[in-house]
Amino acid sequence: MSERETPRHDEAHEAELIAAEAIGDVIEHWGFRRVLGRVWTILFIAAEPLPAAVIGERLSLSAGAVSMSLTELQRWGVVRRVFRPGERKEYFEAETDFWKMISKVFDERERLLAESVRGRLERAVALLEARPRASGAEQRADRVRRLLSFVIVAETALDGFIRSRRVDFSPFGDLIRFPLRVATRKRRA
């Protein structure tokens, strides 16, 4: 009997659901729909590709919810369709390379946000520089430039992270190290 035919009312199924809920929470925290994390987790844990109906059974989801989730997960490149000779059903499996998944999300979502923020901050600096004689304009312009510098460093770190699979936080200097030390001290207390 294969995994997709095995009854799922046991500790293994309970563990699978706990893991799916945990990853669903993380995915939701990152701004995605929770169900995407749950569906991906079921596929990631599975020893073999699964048909949509089995995913729906394991998570108590409707066929429509599973279909929409699989379509979105495929668009993000974290799930792929697997063809089995002689089978009419479609089977799916999870991407297991975490780097591939994370870099795609970073490349598509965070890069767009960083570019948008940079563009707006550049516009803010230009507006403040256009009225240099206004009260406090130079101080406000300097502070917006600092924000802009931070965003440019973050974009550079993001690009480096995506290209090299590593991040060098040294350009952030004490801006990064100081809060981490404070957070560590608070946890120990």
Same domain, 10 and 46: yes
pTM more than 0.75: no
176: pLDDT strictly greater than 70: no
Question: In this structure, is residue 45 part of a structural domain?
Answer: yes
Same domain, 105 and 49: no
In angstroms, the CA 108 to CA 104 distance is 6
User: What is residue 92's predicted lDDT score, i.e. its pLDDT?
Assistant: 97
Question: In this structure, is residue 186 part of a structural domain?
Answer: no
Question: In this structure, is residue 145 part of a structural domain?
Answer: yes
In angstroms, the CA 96 to CA 82 distance is 14
Same domain, 73 and 144: no
Same domain, 37 and 89: yes
Question: In this structure, is residue 181 part of a structural domain?
Answer: no
Burial 77-91 (b: 16+ CB within 10 A, else e): ebbeeeeeeeeeeeb
Domain count along the chain: 2
Give residue-wise pLDDT tens across range 5-64: 444 468 888 999 999 999 999 999 988 999 999 999 999 999 899 999 999 999 999 999
Share of the chain above pLDDT 70, in %: 82
175: pLDDT strictly greater than 70: no
Same domain, 90 and 41: yes
Given a contact cutoff of 8 angstroms between Cβ atoms, the answer to whether 152 and 125 are in contact is: no
Given a contact cutoff of 8 angstroms between Cβ atoms, the answer to whether 39 and 59 are in contact is: yes
- 4 CB contacts (<8 Å, ≥6 apart)? 48, 50, 51, 54
Give residue-wise pLDDT tens across range 142-165: 899 999 999 888 888 877 777 776
- Write down which residue in 96, 118, 142 finishes a domain: 96
Same domain, 72 and 152: no
User: What is residue 79's predicted lDDT score, i.e. its pLDDT?
Assistant: 96
- Write down which residue in 96, 124, 158 finishes a domain: 96
Same domain, 84 and 144: no
The CATH number linked to 26 is 1.10.10.10
Strands of the sheet containing 79-82, edge to edge, are 50-51, 91-94, 79-82
User: What is residue 67's predicted lDDT score, i.e. its pLDDT?
Assistant: 97
Q: What's the domain range around 69? A: 3-96
CA distances from 44 to 100, 119, 158 (A): 14, 38, 26
- Write down which residue in 50, 69, 96 finishes a domain: 96
Question: In this structure, is residue 180 part of a structural domain?
Answer: no
